[in-house]
């Protein structure tokens, strides 16, 4: 039976610890339940665990499907198949325990497998596309479909799923046998790097706010444009890296959008480069937020 929550208070779930109530949230546990949910609510929006999503403090008057309870995984030799809702660090640790190399970068990401495939996540010289075999997806025209690596059209922080009506429900990866201690040492190195360069997970944030433009770093551009001193309401650019926003004082979604526009505008004014947000937005009932999103995502 589908788990459906009415007037779901999403604030406690999002990594930014920001957001109002969503009219209806559905938590499928299998691909079959996911298909059932979409058949009942074909206009529903689909998310993982809302790691890089800003939900409006004014709420969302619609239906959302969250895949967080689709979290199983299986190993078959050097292959691992995982559901989209499985958290990346859990899969990274499981692969290390199996003596399999290729997912060490996931240990420092709070997101899910589906979200990381969706955006071709990567760090420290590793990325999803390096180990990807196939994705198990859903679209409204064909239902369940399987996409291989060529189908996915991976490039920097992008996949075909960002431009087509495709929902990732799971993925298969091919890893390589390696010494477990060497793998775990690399994972510790990645975690130490995150602690030094990014807010810890106890500080509400959504990871990188903007994508790196070709051949440059969003963090470098933002810092050069003076963004480390920026704030809007209770939202503030993190003091140690200009491409992160911290929500330490119960910032509203409007505060965060205002700050994102300010950051984007500063870089555009100085360098004539319009940074593209990595953060997705869910809302649309507040006039000011609609105006801000038109600037950010145009």
Catalytic residues: 157, 208, 278
CB 83 within 8 A of CB 67: yes
Residue 208's contacts (CB-CB under 8 Å, 6 or more residues apart) are 218, 219, 243, 244, 278
Question: In Å, how far are 145, 146, 161 from 139, measured between CA atoms?
Answer: 7, 11, 10
Of the candidates 38, 66, 64, the residue with the CA atom closest to the CA atom of residue 51: 66
In terms of DSSP H, where are the helices of 206-276?
218-224, 253-271
For residue 281, list its beta bridge partners: 54
CB 117 within 8 A of CB 132: yes
């Amino acid at each position: 039976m589908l788990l459906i929550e009415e007037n779901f208070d999403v604030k406690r779930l999002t990594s930014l610890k920001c957001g109002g109530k969503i009219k209806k949230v559905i938590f499928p546990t299998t691909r079959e339940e996911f298909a059932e949910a979409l058949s009942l609510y074909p206009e529903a929006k689909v998310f993982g665990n809302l790691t890089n999503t800003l939900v409006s403090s004014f709420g969302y008057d619609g239906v959302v499907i969250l895949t967080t309870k689709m979290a199983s995984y299986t190993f078959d030799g050097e292959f691992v198949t995982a559901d989209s809702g499985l958290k990346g660090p859990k899969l990274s640790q499981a692969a290390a325990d199996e003596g399999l190399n290729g997912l060490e970068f996931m240990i420092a990401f709070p997101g899910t497998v589906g979200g990381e495939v969706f955006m071709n996540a990567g760090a420290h010289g590793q990325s999803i596309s390096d180990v990807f075999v196939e994705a198990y997806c859903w679209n409204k025209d064909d239902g369940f479909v399987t996409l291989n690596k060529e189908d996915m059209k991976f490039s920097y922080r992008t996949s075909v799923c960002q431009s087509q009506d495709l929902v990732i429900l799971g993925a298969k990866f091919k890893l390589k046998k390696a010494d477990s201690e060497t793998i775990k040492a690399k994972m510790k190195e990645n975690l130490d790097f995150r602690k030094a360069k990014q807010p810890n997970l106890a500080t509400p944030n959504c990871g990188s706010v903007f994508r790196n433009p070709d051949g440059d770093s969003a963090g470098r551009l933002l810092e050069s444009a003076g963004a480390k001193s920026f704030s809007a309401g209770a939202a503030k650019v993190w003091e140690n890296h200009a491409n992160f926003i911290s929500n330490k004082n119960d910032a509203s979604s409007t505060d965060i959008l205002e700050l994102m526009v300010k950051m984007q505008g500063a870089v555009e004014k100085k360098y004539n480069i319009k940074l593209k947000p990595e953060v997705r937005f869910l809302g649309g009932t507040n006039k000011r937020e609609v105006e801000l999103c038109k600037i950010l995502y145009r």
